[in-house]
Amino acid sequence: MLQIKNLRVEYESDNKIITAVDGINLTIEEKQIVGLVGGSGCGKSTVALSILNLIEKPGRIAGGQILWDGKDLLKMGSDEIRKVRGSQISMIFQDPFSSLNPVFTVGDQISETIRYHEGLGKRSALLRAQELLSDVMIDNPALRLKQYPHELSGGMLQRVMIAMAIACGPKLLIADEPTTSLDVTVQSEILQLMIDLKNNLGLGILFITHNLASVAEICDLVAVMKDGRIVEQSDVFKIFEKPASDYTKELLKAVPKLKC
């Protein structure tokens, strides 16, 4: 479905070129959750932004291909890539508080996406937004539609972001650290929702995280990043049972262990 081939992303700083992503290769298929794991600053989020051609200056995509159903996303014009965003590939971010507009209701923000991509009228789009809130297990969705972001909890806001992301029936969902700011109980609920989306909607999911416990719970395949490169890529069982790279071994050692 999605193939990343030899992707290279650079940033210019003080007349120096900094390589953020250095020739990575990655494939995501339908009904597959691929974990992209690594420490802060290793290039995970840059990969996500590259897929939707959202790298801004002083950054630039210096090489490679990102093939979506055989078409190179990096060669698409601005109008063509906008049609892909949201309707075919969607993204949810780690901080829903900064991603949602505080002056518009939840219903207005979800329905705006639907109206743009699906061409529905305001009333029909709001009804669809209510259904989506129900789909992501938000209680009393009719009430939540009328509320503003500051009136909802962090867990609810992340579910709103997921509802917006799946509103137009995308094939691929990019989840960039979607559980970072949530408490443990809510994290578990969001992870289960990801699994349900994969199983019920047939989504492919790129799950970006530094949390190996989350990876073990939901991912089928795992790619480990360090300094802009993928140092190891395998199915989730092999990564945990027999890691090949020294960096992966160090990451596994850093996972806290409970003592009884």
Domain 2-253, classified CATH 3.40.50.300, yes or no: yes
Q: How many residues does the chain have?
A: 260
Cα 51 to Cα 180, 181, 250: the distances in Å are: 21, 24, 28
The domain spans of the chain are 2-253
pLDDT in tens, 108-121: 999 988 888 788 89
Q: Is the peptide bond before 102 cis (omega within 30 degrees of 0)?
A: no
Rounded Cα distance between 49 and 56, Å, is 9
Kindly compute the dihedral angle of the four CA atoms of residues 174, 219, 201, 83, in this order, to the nearest 10 degrees: 20
pLDDT for 254 equals 76
Place of tokens 């969705």: 141
Q: How confident is the prediction along the chain (260 residues), in pLDDT tens digits per residue?
A: 899 999 999 998 888 999 999 999 999 999 999 999 988 889 999 999 999 999 988 999 999 999 998 899 999 988 889 888 888 999 987 777 788 899 999 999 999 888 887 888 989 999 999 999 998 889 999 999 999 999 998 888 988 998 988 888 889 999 998 887 777 888 888 889 889 889 988 899 999 998 888 898 899 999 999 999 999 999 999 988 888 899 988 888 877 665 55
Cα 235 to Cα 37, 128, 165, 175, 219: the distances in Å are: 13, 37, 26, 19, 8
Rounded Cα distance between 260 and 137, Å, is 34
pTM reported for the whole predicted model:
0.89
